[in-house]
Amino acid sequence: MNRNKNILLPIFTGIIFLFLGLSSCQVLNRYQTPEIDTSGLYRESHSDDTTTIADIPWREYFTDEYLIGLIEEGLQNNADLQVAVTGIRQAEAILNMARAAYFPTVSLTGQVTNTTRSDANKTLGYNSNNVTLGIAASWELDLWGKLNRQSKSKYALFLKSHSYRNLIQSSLIANIATSYYSLLALDEQLRITTETVKILEKNVETMMSLKEAWIQNVNEAAVEQSRALMLRTKLSTYDLESAIRQLENGISVMLGRKPGTIERSSFNAQTVPVKLETGVPAQLLARRPDVMQAEMDFRSAFELTNAAQASFYPSVTLNAGSMIGLAAPGFTGFFSRENLLANVIGGLTQPIFNRGQLKGNLKIAKAQQEAALISFRNSVLRAGQEISDILFSYESSIRKNSIRQEQIISTQKAVEYTKELLIANEANYTEVLMAEQNYLSAQLSEVSDKLEQLQYSVNLYRALGGGAE
């Protein structure tokens, strides 16, 4: 027993020194974020100002107290966000499993063997109980960084799960905000339409009075046309009420609650941002969750490629066990010193016949890394396209405001003038009806313009990475 220990000890010591000597031989290829040309990514925007609305916390970016309360409720109860959080827990568990590969695997072993012997005449016999109990351990030395690279790959996927959660959060905030503004816009359109119906009802009465007064150009057809316009406008209020109810239900589900009423302020209380700072395109790489997700996919593939390269080098495994044993007709003396055994075995494995499979795995890993890099670069381009589209559309919508206001004033005056001309027998009833339709359309369009601008401000905030944290 002692002689075996004297032989095994130098072997074990030599393996340890081999590990210390070769541990510096790992494949060193540290990850760096790929260089991507982001100049001109926003097309016409070439500002070097790094100020961006994405740096504004969402509780400060949105000023409506009702909206802030809805967003807080959604972040607490939304089902998609809760699923994303469970994804983080899964990724964390996988990461911990990968890190556990650095440590030895330890198991408790035990065995009892009973042996009975007797002579041919069965006059003599005895029982022998052999008992073994011990701990066995196995440890693969990560000389070339294969396990380390695999762990780093899982860490990248862990970071990706956080980016996915941030993506769901920023999208949820944007969806709640845009839906809220749409709800307020419907409220305003319903108010305008309802008031217009009241005006048109009076117009019908006026037409009837003019017909009875034998005013030229006012006949039964004029009265009915005026009534038809009033009824058509009145019917649209029911469509607006239905849309409001559906939108309330949709917001309720986003908040994780049963369909019901949404408390809110007024559309006129909302203010469209005057200026939307975008910062520089390079900031997207560190702020926008979907871009960060794509980078983490590339990072994971990068680490797996290095792990595949490290698989070509020899793997060293240490197997160690300490056993307590006894061969006796009972358990007496089980823990005596002479029954203690210890062994350490070192294994060195060099891939030879499976190099074809290893080469294939490396080619696959490199191809997956290349595909992930392409996807990463494309995600940056798509982000730039989205921001460029929003910026131009927002600015175009803002330029409509002054012209829209002029249109409203003009159509309002047209209604007043054509009514006066009708009474003076210098205009017919169709001109009055057309003027009233144009005035209503201009008012509703003004509401749509403001809604459009509010939604562009929300979408740009999300597109730049705002609300992700």
Longest dimension (CA), the chain: 143
The C-alpha angle with vertex 235 and arms to 246 and 400, in degrees rounded to 5, equals: 75
The pLDDT, as a whole number, for residue 388 is 93
Structure tokens at 13: 């010591």
The pLDDT, as a whole number, for residue 324 is 45
Residues 6+ apart with CB under 8 A from 277: 49, 51, 52, 53
Distance CA 58, CA 71 (A): 9
The pLDDT, as a whole number, for residue 333 is 53
Distance CA 228, CA 454 (A): 35
pLDDT 10s digits, 183-242: 999 999 999 999 999 999 998 988 888 888 776 677 888 888 899 999 999 999 999 999
* Residues in the chain with pLDDT values less than 50: 1-5, 7-9, 11-12, 17, 19-20, 22-24, 323-330, 340
Distance CA 316, CA 312 (A): 13
The pLDDT, as a whole number, for residue 327 is 42
pLDDT 10s digits, 278-308: 989 888 888 899 999 999 999 999 988 988 8
The pLDDT, as a whole number, for residue 90 is 86
Distance CA 69, CA 59 (A): 10
The pLDDT, as a whole number, for residue 321 is 55
The pLDDT, as a whole number, for residue 1 is 44
The pLDDT, as a whole number, for residue 310 is 80
Ordered by where they begin, the domains of the chain are: 1-27+104-141+315-349 (2.20.200), 31-102+145-312+354-463 (1.20.1600.10)
Amino acid at 148: N
Dihedral sign from CA coordinates of 73, 77, 82, 84:
negative
> Alpha helix (H) ranges present in 106-145?
none
Structure tokens at 47: 């500002």
Look at the chain and count its residues: 469
